[in-house]
Amino acid sequence: MPLSLTARRGIGLAAFLLSFHTLLAYGLAPGVFLVLVVALGIVYYRTGYLGAVTISLALLGVTLLYALAIKLTGFESAMYYRPHEQLATYDYNYNHRVYRRNARIEMRMPYGDLQSMTKAPIAQPREVVFQTDSDGFRNDRDYYGQRYALVGDSFIAAVGDSQEAMLNVQLERDHGLAAYNLGHPGNLNDYLAYIRGFRERYGEKPAILLFLFEGNDFPKALPDPSKKKFSTFGLFWKRYYNLFSDTGMFRLTKSLYKRLSKLDEIERSENVKVLKVGDQTVAFYAPYIDVTKKADYRPDAGVEQAIVATGAQHIFFIPTKYRVYHNHLEPGTRLPNAYWDYLNGVCGKHQLQCTNLTAPLTTAADQLLKTGQLVWWSDDTHWNAHGMAVAVRVVAERLKDAR
Protein backbone atom coordinates (compact mmCIF):
# COMPACT_ATOMS: atom_id res chain seq x y z
CA MET A 1 0.00 0.00 0.00
CA PRO A 2 1.47 3.40 -0.98
CA LEU A 3 2.49 5.74 1.82
CA SER A 4 0.34 8.72 2.63
CA LEU A 5 1.54 12.24 1.92
CA THR A 6 1.99 12.87 5.64
CA ALA A 7 4.16 9.75 6.01
CA ARG A 8 6.31 10.68 3.00
CA ARG A 9 6.83 14.17 4.37
CA GLY A 10 7.69 12.76 7.81
CA ILE A 11 10.29 10.42 6.31
CA GLY A 12 11.73 13.26 4.22
CA LEU A 13 11.97 15.48 7.32
CA ALA A 14 13.67 12.71 9.31
CA ALA A 15 16.17 12.25 6.46
CA PHE A 16 16.86 15.98 6.39
CA LEU A 17 17.43 16.08 10.16
CA LEU A 18 19.79 13.12 9.90
CA SER A 19 21.84 14.96 7.27
CA PHE A 20 21.71 18.18 9.29
CA HIS A 21 23.25 16.45 12.31
CA THR A 22 25.76 14.59 10.17
CA LEU A 23 27.00 17.88 8.74
CA LEU A 24 27.29 19.33 12.27
CA ALA A 25 30.01 16.79 12.97
CA TYR A 26 32.28 18.29 10.29
CA GLY A 27 33.06 21.61 11.98
CA LEU A 28 32.35 23.58 8.82
CA ALA A 29 32.39 27.37 8.72
CA PRO A 30 28.88 28.77 9.43
CA GLY A 31 28.47 30.09 5.90
CA VAL A 32 29.49 26.81 4.28
CA PHE A 33 27.28 24.83 6.65
CA LEU A 34 24.26 27.02 5.88
CA VAL A 35 24.75 26.73 2.11
CA LEU A 36 24.99 22.94 2.32
CA VAL A 37 21.91 22.65 4.52
CA VAL A 38 19.86 24.82 2.17
CA ALA A 39 21.15 22.91 -0.86
CA LEU A 40 20.24 19.57 0.73
CA GLY A 41 16.77 20.88 1.55
CA ILE A 42 16.20 21.81 -2.09
CA VAL A 43 17.57 18.48 -3.34
CA TYR A 44 15.44 16.52 -0.90
CA TYR A 45 12.33 18.43 -1.93
CA ARG A 46 12.94 17.66 -5.58
CA THR A 47 13.99 14.01 -5.24
CA GLY A 48 11.25 12.97 -2.84
CA TYR A 49 11.48 10.94 0.32
CA LEU A 50 13.24 7.94 -1.27
CA GLY A 51 16.00 10.13 -2.68
CA ALA A 52 16.27 11.97 0.63
CA VAL A 53 16.68 8.71 2.57
CA THR A 54 19.26 7.40 0.09
CA ILE A 55 21.37 10.56 0.22
CA SER A 56 21.16 10.81 4.00
CA LEU A 57 22.21 7.21 4.58
CA ALA A 58 25.06 7.56 2.07
CA LEU A 59 26.27 10.74 3.78
CA LEU A 60 26.05 9.06 7.19
CA GLY A 61 27.95 6.02 5.94
CA VAL A 62 30.76 8.10 4.45
CA THR A 63 30.98 10.16 7.64
CA LEU A 64 31.24 7.08 9.87
CA LEU A 65 33.99 5.66 7.65
CA TYR A 66 35.82 9.01 7.79
CA ALA A 67 35.56 9.13 11.59
CA LEU A 68 36.74 5.52 11.90
CA ALA A 69 39.67 6.14 9.56
CA ILE A 70 41.04 9.13 11.48
CA LYS A 71 40.52 7.22 14.74
CA LEU A 72 42.37 4.09 13.62
CA THR A 73 45.21 6.02 12.00
CA GLY A 74 45.63 8.21 15.07
CA PHE A 75 45.36 11.29 12.90
CA GLU A 76 42.76 12.92 15.17
CA SER A 77 45.55 13.36 17.72
CA ALA A 78 48.54 13.62 15.38
CA MET A 79 47.15 16.75 13.70
CA TYR A 80 47.86 18.81 16.85
CA TYR A 81 51.32 20.25 17.37
CA ARG A 82 50.64 20.87 21.08
CA PRO A 83 48.14 19.59 23.67
CA HIS A 84 46.42 22.95 24.20
CA GLU A 85 44.27 22.78 21.05
CA GLN A 86 43.61 19.09 21.51
CA LEU A 87 42.17 19.52 25.00
CA ALA A 88 40.60 22.99 24.89
CA THR A 89 36.84 23.00 25.51
CA TYR A 90 34.17 25.04 27.35
CA ASP A 91 32.42 24.67 30.69
CA TYR A 92 28.84 25.90 30.25
CA ASN A 93 28.04 25.34 33.93
CA TYR A 94 30.47 28.10 34.92
CA ASN A 95 30.55 29.91 31.58
CA HIS A 96 34.29 29.87 30.91
CA ARG A 97 37.00 28.08 28.97
CA VAL A 98 38.64 24.95 30.37
CA TYR A 99 40.55 21.87 29.24
CA ARG A 100 39.10 18.40 29.09
CA ARG A 101 38.96 16.99 32.58
CA ASN A 102 41.39 14.42 33.96
CA ALA A 103 43.34 14.27 30.72
CA ARG A 104 47.00 13.44 30.29
CA ILE A 105 49.05 13.80 27.12
CA GLU A 106 52.72 12.98 26.69
CA MET A 107 54.06 14.03 23.33
CA ARG A 108 57.02 15.44 21.46
CA MET A 109 55.94 18.97 20.61
CA PRO A 110 57.64 19.64 17.25
CA TYR A 111 57.59 23.45 17.44
CA GLY A 112 56.10 26.49 19.14
CA ASP A 113 53.26 28.77 18.11
CA LEU A 114 55.42 31.08 15.95
CA GLN A 115 56.58 28.23 13.71
CA SER A 116 52.93 27.58 12.87
CA MET A 117 52.77 31.10 11.39
CA THR A 118 55.84 31.01 9.17
CA LYS A 119 57.83 28.80 6.81
CA ALA A 120 61.13 30.01 8.25
CA PRO A 121 62.98 27.06 9.88
CA ILE A 122 62.78 28.10 13.54
CA ALA A 123 61.38 24.93 15.14
CA GLN A 124 62.58 24.05 18.64
CA PRO A 125 61.22 20.56 19.50
CA ARG A 126 60.54 19.65 23.12
CA GLU A 127 59.07 16.83 25.19
CA VAL A 128 55.82 17.85 26.87
CA VAL A 129 53.64 16.31 29.59
CA PHE A 130 50.23 17.96 29.89
CA GLN A 131 47.98 16.96 32.81
CA THR A 132 44.59 18.38 33.83
CA ASP A 133 42.51 17.92 36.97
CA SER A 134 38.81 17.16 37.46
CA ASP A 135 37.92 20.87 37.06
CA GLY A 136 39.65 21.16 33.68
CA PHE A 137 42.63 23.24 34.80
CA ARG A 138 46.25 22.25 34.42
CA ASN A 139 47.18 20.69 37.74
CA ASP A 140 48.76 17.37 38.70
CA ARG A 141 45.95 16.79 41.20
CA ASP A 142 42.68 18.35 42.30
CA TYR A 143 42.44 21.40 44.53
CA TYR A 144 43.33 20.42 48.10
CA GLY A 145 43.23 23.76 49.91
CA GLN A 146 46.30 25.52 48.52
CA ARG A 147 46.84 28.97 49.99
CA TYR A 148 47.32 30.65 46.60
CA ALA A 149 45.65 30.50 43.19
CA LEU A 150 47.50 31.64 40.06
CA VAL A 151 45.26 33.38 37.52
CA GLY A 152 46.24 34.42 34.00
CA ASP A 153 46.39 33.33 30.39
CA SER A 154 48.60 30.93 28.43
CA PHE A 155 51.69 31.94 30.42
CA ILE A 156 50.11 30.51 33.56
CA ALA A 157 48.63 27.53 31.71
CA ALA A 158 52.14 27.08 30.21
CA VAL A 159 50.79 26.00 26.83
CA GLY A 160 54.24 25.57 25.30
CA ASP A 161 55.88 23.84 28.25
CA SER A 162 55.85 20.61 30.17
CA GLN A 163 54.11 20.14 33.51
CA GLU A 164 57.23 20.22 35.67
CA ALA A 165 58.14 23.74 34.46
CA MET A 166 54.86 25.38 35.46
CA LEU A 167 54.81 28.22 37.98
CA ASN A 168 52.68 26.42 40.56
CA VAL A 169 54.83 23.29 40.34
CA GLN A 170 58.09 25.24 40.76
CA LEU A 171 56.61 27.33 43.57
CA GLU A 172 55.77 24.26 45.63
CA ARG A 173 58.80 22.18 44.67
CA ASP A 174 61.48 24.86 45.07
CA HIS A 175 59.96 27.29 47.57
CA GLY A 176 57.43 25.30 49.59
CA LEU A 177 54.53 27.54 48.49
CA ALA A 178 51.49 25.48 47.47
CA ALA A 179 49.46 27.12 44.70
CA TYR A 180 46.58 26.04 42.47
CA ASN A 181 46.82 26.76 38.75
CA LEU A 182 43.68 28.59 37.64
CA GLY A 183 45.16 29.72 34.34
CA HIS A 184 43.75 29.41 30.84
CA PRO A 185 43.97 31.64 27.73
CA GLY A 186 41.42 34.45 27.84
CA ASN A 187 40.92 38.07 28.84
CA LEU A 188 40.16 39.85 32.10
CA ASN A 189 36.49 38.88 31.95
CA ASP A 190 37.56 35.25 31.59
CA TYR A 191 39.90 35.55 34.58
CA LEU A 192 36.98 36.82 36.66
CA ALA A 193 34.91 33.87 35.45
CA TYR A 194 37.66 31.40 36.47
CA ILE A 195 37.80 32.95 39.95
CA ARG A 196 34.01 33.03 40.41
CA GLY A 197 33.60 29.48 39.13
CA PHE A 198 36.28 28.26 41.52
CA ARG A 199 34.58 29.95 44.48
CA GLU A 200 31.22 28.51 43.50
CA ARG A 201 32.69 25.02 43.47
CA TYR A 202 34.68 25.23 46.68
CA GLY A 203 33.34 28.18 48.64
CA GLU A 204 36.93 29.11 49.45
CA LYS A 205 38.97 32.21 48.75
CA PRO A 206 42.68 31.48 48.35
CA ALA A 207 44.85 34.52 47.75
CA ILE A 208 44.69 35.41 44.05
CA LEU A 209 47.99 36.04 42.27
CA LEU A 210 47.04 37.71 38.98
CA PHE A 211 49.41 37.71 36.01
CA LEU A 212 48.78 40.22 33.22
CA PHE A 213 50.68 39.90 29.94
CA GLU A 214 51.68 43.07 28.15
CA GLY A 215 50.97 41.54 24.75
CA ASN A 216 47.23 40.88 25.00
CA ASP A 217 45.85 41.53 28.49
CA PHE A 218 45.36 45.28 28.08
CA PRO A 219 42.48 45.92 25.65
CA LYS A 220 41.03 49.32 24.81
CA ALA A 221 37.70 48.11 26.15
CA LEU A 222 36.19 44.94 27.60
CA PRO A 223 32.94 43.46 26.29
CA ASP A 224 30.02 43.46 28.68
CA PRO A 225 30.28 40.06 30.48
CA SER A 226 26.50 39.97 30.94
CA LYS A 227 26.13 39.59 27.17
CA LYS A 228 28.07 36.35 27.35
CA LYS A 229 25.39 34.72 29.46
CA PHE A 230 23.24 32.23 27.58
CA SER A 231 19.48 31.97 27.61
CA THR A 232 17.93 28.62 28.57
CA PHE A 233 17.60 27.71 24.89
CA GLY A 234 21.06 29.07 24.09
CA LEU A 235 22.61 27.00 26.87
CA PHE A 236 20.79 23.89 25.70
CA TRP A 237 21.94 24.47 22.13
CA LYS A 238 25.57 25.06 23.16
CA ARG A 239 25.65 21.86 25.20
CA TYR A 240 23.99 19.95 22.42
CA TYR A 241 26.43 21.39 19.88
CA ASN A 242 29.31 20.29 22.14
CA LEU A 243 28.33 16.68 21.48
CA PHE A 244 29.64 17.28 17.96
CA SER A 245 32.30 19.95 18.48
CA ASP A 246 34.27 17.82 20.96
CA THR A 247 34.72 14.98 18.48
CA GLY A 248 38.01 14.35 16.70
CA MET A 249 36.38 14.60 13.28
CA PHE A 250 34.93 18.03 14.04
CA ARG A 251 38.26 19.34 15.32
CA LEU A 252 40.21 17.87 12.41
CA THR A 253 37.96 19.36 9.73
CA LYS A 254 37.87 22.74 11.46
CA SER A 255 41.64 22.72 11.90
CA LEU A 256 42.25 21.87 8.24
CA TYR A 257 39.86 24.60 7.16
CA LYS A 258 41.66 27.19 9.29
CA ARG A 259 45.06 26.15 7.99
CA LEU A 260 43.93 26.34 4.39
CA SER A 261 42.47 29.81 4.97
CA LYS A 262 45.81 31.02 6.40
CA LEU A 263 48.18 29.51 3.83
CA ASP A 264 48.80 32.86 2.16
CA GLU A 265 49.41 34.56 5.51
CA ILE A 266 51.89 31.85 6.51
CA GLU A 267 53.63 32.12 3.14
CA ARG A 268 54.13 35.88 3.61
CA SER A 269 55.11 35.39 7.27
CA GLU A 270 53.90 38.90 8.09
CA ASN A 271 53.28 38.15 11.76
CA VAL A 272 56.70 36.68 12.51
CA LYS A 273 60.01 38.52 12.65
CA VAL A 274 63.11 36.32 12.79
CA LEU A 275 65.97 38.29 14.34
CA LYS A 276 69.43 37.74 15.80
CA VAL A 277 69.87 37.95 19.57
CA GLY A 278 73.57 37.56 20.15
CA ASP A 279 74.42 34.34 18.33
CA GLN A 280 70.86 33.04 18.66
CA THR A 281 68.19 33.09 15.95
CA VAL A 282 64.99 34.14 17.71
CA ALA A 283 61.47 34.64 16.34
CA PHE A 284 59.17 37.42 17.56
CA TYR A 285 55.44 37.97 17.08
CA ALA A 286 55.09 41.20 15.08
CA PRO A 287 51.79 42.36 16.69
CA TYR A 288 53.42 42.08 20.13
CA ILE A 289 56.33 44.19 18.91
CA ASP A 290 53.83 46.87 17.91
CA VAL A 291 52.16 46.65 21.32
CA THR A 292 55.52 47.02 23.08
CA LYS A 293 56.29 50.20 21.13
CA LYS A 294 52.98 51.92 21.89
CA ALA A 295 53.56 55.14 23.77
CA ASP A 296 50.07 55.62 25.13
CA TYR A 297 47.35 53.43 26.65
CA ARG A 298 44.04 54.85 27.78
CA PRO A 299 41.36 52.17 28.06
CA ASP A 300 37.79 52.60 29.18
CA ALA A 301 36.89 52.32 32.86
CA GLY A 302 35.85 48.67 32.46
CA VAL A 303 39.48 47.47 32.33
CA GLU A 304 40.32 49.07 35.66
CA GLN A 305 37.09 47.77 37.18
CA ALA A 306 37.88 44.21 36.04
CA ILE A 307 41.40 44.34 37.48
CA VAL A 308 40.11 45.51 40.84
CA ALA A 309 37.22 43.01 40.79
CA THR A 310 39.66 40.07 40.72
CA GLY A 311 40.52 40.90 44.33
CA ALA A 312 44.12 39.96 43.64
CA GLN A 313 46.51 39.96 46.57
CA HIS A 314 49.34 40.64 44.14
CA ILE A 315 49.48 41.49 40.43
CA PHE A 316 52.49 40.57 38.28
CA PHE A 317 53.22 42.26 34.95
CA ILE A 318 54.65 39.93 32.27
CA PRO A 319 56.56 41.82 29.54
CA THR A 320 56.73 40.76 25.91
CA LYS A 321 59.63 38.77 24.58
CA TYR A 322 60.64 41.78 22.47
CA ARG A 323 60.90 44.02 25.55
CA VAL A 324 63.13 41.52 27.35
CA TYR A 325 65.55 41.26 24.40
CA HIS A 326 65.20 44.83 23.18
CA ASN A 327 68.66 45.93 24.33
CA HIS A 328 70.17 43.25 22.04
CA LEU A 329 67.96 44.17 19.09
CA GLU A 330 68.05 47.97 19.24
CA PRO A 331 70.88 48.90 21.61
CA GLY A 332 70.94 52.48 22.76
CA THR A 333 67.20 53.01 22.29
CA ARG A 334 64.43 53.12 24.89
CA LEU A 335 60.98 51.65 24.83
CA PRO A 336 57.88 53.31 26.28
CA ASN A 337 56.16 51.60 29.22
CA ALA A 338 52.55 52.48 28.49
CA TYR A 339 50.96 49.30 29.85
CA TRP A 340 53.07 49.01 32.96
CA ASP A 341 52.57 52.71 33.71
CA TYR A 342 48.81 52.20 33.46
CA LEU A 343 48.82 49.08 35.68
CA ASN A 344 51.11 50.72 38.21
CA GLY A 345 48.73 53.69 38.35
CA VAL A 346 45.74 51.40 38.95
CA CYS A 347 47.62 49.58 41.70
CA GLY A 348 48.59 52.84 43.36
CA LYS A 349 45.06 54.22 43.15
CA HIS A 350 43.49 51.13 44.75
CA GLN A 351 46.41 50.25 47.06
CA LEU A 352 47.13 46.95 45.30
CA GLN A 353 50.45 45.15 45.37
CA CYS A 354 51.99 45.16 41.91
CA THR A 355 55.31 43.87 40.52
CA ASN A 356 56.93 44.33 37.12
CA LEU A 357 58.81 41.20 35.98
CA THR A 358 60.70 43.04 33.22
CA ALA A 359 63.93 43.81 35.11
CA PRO A 360 64.51 40.32 36.59
CA LEU A 361 63.67 38.66 33.27
CA THR A 362 65.97 41.00 31.36
CA THR A 363 68.84 40.42 33.79
CA ALA A 364 68.40 36.65 33.59
CA ALA A 365 68.12 36.83 29.78
CA ASP A 366 71.44 38.69 29.53
CA GLN A 367 73.19 36.20 31.80
CA LEU A 368 71.80 33.10 30.10
CA LEU A 369 72.60 34.45 26.64
CA LYS A 370 76.29 34.16 27.49
CA THR A 371 75.82 30.38 27.65
CA GLY A 372 73.59 30.22 24.57
CA GLN A 373 70.32 29.91 26.53
CA LEU A 374 67.11 31.92 26.49
CA VAL A 375 64.27 32.71 28.89
CA TRP A 376 61.74 32.40 26.03
CA TRP A 377 61.40 29.61 23.52
CA SER A 378 63.05 30.83 20.32
CA ASP A 379 60.05 29.69 18.22
CA ASP A 380 57.29 30.67 20.63
CA THR A 381 55.59 33.68 22.21
CA HIS A 382 55.84 32.01 25.65
CA TRP A 383 58.66 31.78 28.14
CA ASN A 384 60.46 28.48 28.78
CA ALA A 385 61.39 26.83 32.09
CA HIS A 386 64.20 29.37 32.63
CA GLY A 387 61.79 32.27 32.26
CA MET A 388 59.26 30.68 34.57
CA ALA A 389 61.96 30.01 37.17
CA VAL A 390 62.76 33.74 37.20
CA ALA A 391 59.09 34.59 37.71
CA VAL A 392 58.76 31.94 40.43
CA ARG A 393 61.72 33.37 42.32
CA VAL A 394 60.22 36.88 42.25
CA VAL A 395 56.77 35.61 43.25
CA ALA A 396 58.23 33.64 46.16
CA GLU A 397 60.16 36.70 47.36
CA ARG A 398 57.04 38.89 47.24
CA LEU A 399 54.93 36.32 49.10
CA LYS A 400 57.51 35.86 51.80
CA ASP A 401 57.83 39.64 52.18
CA ALA A 402 54.03 39.87 52.53
CA ARG A 403 54.08 37.24 55.25
User: CATH number, domain at 266?
Assistant: 3.40.50.1110
Helix axes 385-402, 167-175, angle to 10 degrees: 60
Q: Are strands 126-131 and 104-109 parallel, antiparallel or unpaired?
A: antiparallel
Number of structural domains in the chain: 2
Alpha helix locations (H) across 105-217? 154-157, 167-175, 188-202
Query: Residue 123: inside a domain, yes or no?
Result: yes
Instruction: Judge whether 346 lies within some domain.
Output: yes
DSSP string over 318-375: EPPHHHHTHHHHSTT-----HHHHHHHHHHHHHT-EEEE-HHHHHHHHHHHHTTT--S
Residue 248 in any domain: the answer is no
Which residue range forms the structural domain that includes residue 27?
5-73
pLDDT at 44: 86
Predicted local distance difference test score (pLDDT) of residue 236: 75
Residues 158 and 11 in one domain: no
Q: What is the pLDDT of residue 102?
A: 96
How far, in Å, CA of 166 to CA of 158, rounded? 6
pLDDT score at 225: 67
In a domain, 79, yes or no: no
Ranges in the chain, pLDDT < 70: 1, 225-230, 263, 402-403
Evaluate if pTM is beyond 0.85. Answer: yes
Residues 192 and 336 in one domain: yes
Are residues 319 and 378 part of one domain? yes
Query: In this structure, are 200 and 283 located in the same domain?
Result: yes
pLDDT at 192: 95
Mark whether 192 and 318 lie in a shared domain: yes
Residue 289, Ramachandran bin (φ over 0: left; ψ between -120 and 50: alpha; else beta): alpha
Q: Looking at residue 106, what is its pLDDT?
A: 94
Backbone angles phi, psi at 334, to 5 degrees: -120, 145
136, 101 contact by CB (below 8 A): yes
3-state class of 91 per DSSP? strand
Residues 101 and 162 in one domain: yes
Residue where a domain stops, chosen among 73, 103, 119: 73
Q: Is residue 282 part of a domain?
A: yes
Alpha carbons 44 and 52: distance in angstroms, whole number: 5
Strands 280-285 and 272-277: antiparallel
Do 11 and 102 sit in the same domain of this protein?
no
| Distance, CA of 162 to CA of 135 (rounded, Å) | 19
Same structural domain, 21 and 122 = no
